[in-house]
Structure 1
Amino acid sequence: MLRFLTYNIHGCIGRTRNYEPKTVLEVIRQSDADIVALQEVIDEKRDRIRFIDALHELGYCSVVHAKTIDKPEGPYGIALLSRIEPSEVQEIELGGLEPRKALRFHIEHPEGALDICNTHLGLAGTERWKQIEKLSEILAKADQRHGDKLQILMGDLNEWRPGTRLIRKLRKHFQWVSTIPTFPSRRPVFSLDRVAIRGNPTSVHFHRIDDSGAVRASDHRALLAVVST
């Protein structure tokens, strides 16, 4: 069984507008996820420790941060965490009105090879479509090259409507696409954050993290996928 978490942490700025890195870290720790995809990550140094260093202390052997913007507080972007060292790491430029990226890990796991991708797509529908088109080509090539047992796309796709061409495209490639609302954190109604899975697992279960820390720590809730292979 493998656990995959996607979480837009909003720079660790919670609903109270306070900086809440410890609460964000606790949400991640309690999820017990093997792979974690984070969006809106700022490698900010406060209280004598950098946020990326704190992620390492959660026990993930691989923590990769892909910067998209330089902010006054520090480098801003996405991060991908894994308890298993990846054999391949790819940083993918997706372009857009605001620079966007994806991070891809290839992992040789005892239960079968995994291909994991984290992204945060743009706000405009036209740019999201261009970004998912580019990303789909890269993921298809990776699938042909490796023939992985599981291929998983996670992240904030900024697409909440069920019947858009972006969601239809996802469903053509992935057998499972989560639909659980994750935004806003106080009372989620929009499925901005997604986990999409391709392969032949014996079971897939999606869960939203609903404890008080997850409600408070960001403007999004974290989304967990539990996959039995």
Structure 2
Amino acid sequence: MELTFASYNIHKAVGLDGRRDPDRIITVLRELDADIIALQEADRRFGQRAAVLPRAMLDDTHWRPLAVSERPRSLGWHGNALLVRRDIHCTLSEALHLPTLEPRGAVMGELELEGRPLRILGAHLDISGIRRRDQVHAMLGHCAARPRLPTVIMGDFNQWGRLTGAMRAFGVAWQQITPGASYPARRPIAPLDRIVTTPDWDYVASGVHHSAMAAQASDHLPVWARLTLPKK
């Protein structure tokens, strides 16, 4: 079973020209054509935390958002949302509370495809770095408290070094995929966006999605990884 995973900080759909344009984000998602997508900054920060991608627009795509929101007008939890291809069955979806000095959280979904269960998490970690490692430990703790499943964690880790800082919390038991520099979108120099997996998955390919639209739609470029889950 081969799947393409992607992570995209959509910057509340505000592009480099200062305009909020959800159509551009949808266009980039269509370019990616991933099976499972973790979004960051998918909701407005204040007020009712309304989604910046109208659900009607998502209805015209082959993805559906998992039910992780705790607010009626939000798409995600602290801006984190998960989109999955419509033929992928979801057995559990929930928001995760992370230790934080800032408004941060993560989201988790347990899925089933072709009779195979898997787990996905999306996160946007602390920008200051003070609680980043604690947040990784919290996500790993949530996974450990559930039945063991092939797992993929995606998001904006706000971490420059591949094996430094909070990334050390994954230890040797997790595979860390750093597709490349994804921030800032116009001239990316920082590999802030990552994909981390349990060893159940075989790595096929990964990359940063560069396109004319992606370079304008957000301050981050999306990253992706193609993985296979071997037969038991």
Instruction: Determine if the TM-score, normalized by the shorter chain, exceeds 0.5.
Output: yes
Amino acid at match of 1:60: W
Root mean square deviation, CA, Å: 2.4
Q: Which consecutive segments of 4 or more residues in structure 1 shift more than 4 A?
A: 43-46
The aligned amino acid for 1:156 is D
AA at the equivalent of 2:104: R
CA contact (8 A) 1:67 1:78 kept: no
Distance of aligned partners of 1:160 and 1:66 in 2 relative to their CA distance in 1, 3 Å threshold? farther
Answer yes or no: is 1:54 the counterpart of 2:54: no
**2:143 equivalent among 139, 142, 167:** 139
Question: Aligned AA for 2:20?
Answer: Y
After superposition, residues 1-229 of structure 1 pair within 5 angstroms as 1-42=2-43, 44=50, 51-64=54-67, 66=69, 77-83=79-85, 84-110=88-114, 112-142=116-146, 145=147, 147-148=148-149, 150-229=150-229
Instruction: Extract unaligned runs of 5+ from structure 2.
Output: 45-49
For 1:100 and 1:112, how far apart are their aligned partners in 2?
A: 30
Q: How much has 1:171 moved relative to structure 2?
A: 4.3
Moved more, 105-114 or 13-22: 105-114
Question: Do the aligned partners of 2:179 and 2:208 also contact (CA within 8 Å) in 1?
Answer: no
CA gap 1:87/1:166 in 2 versus in 1, 3 angstroms: same
Q: Secondary structure at the match of 2:114?
A: coil
TM-score by length of 1: 0.86
Q: Distance in 2 between matches of 1:176 and 1:162?
A: 8
- Partner SS state of residue 114, structure 1: strand
Distance 2:152 2:51 in 1: 31
Between 11-20 and 104-113, the greater mean CA deviation after superposition: 104-113
Is this contact kept in 2: 1:55–1:63, CA < 8 A?
no
Q: Which amino acid aligns with 1:57?
A: D
Per-residue deviation at 1:55? 2.2
Gaps of 5+ in 1: none
Distance 1:201 1:132 in 2: 20
In the alignment, the residues of structure 2 paired with residue 171 and residue 178 of structure 1 have an alpha-carbon distance, to the nearest angstrom, of 15
Which structure has greater strand proportion? 1
- TM-score by length of structure 2 reads 0.85
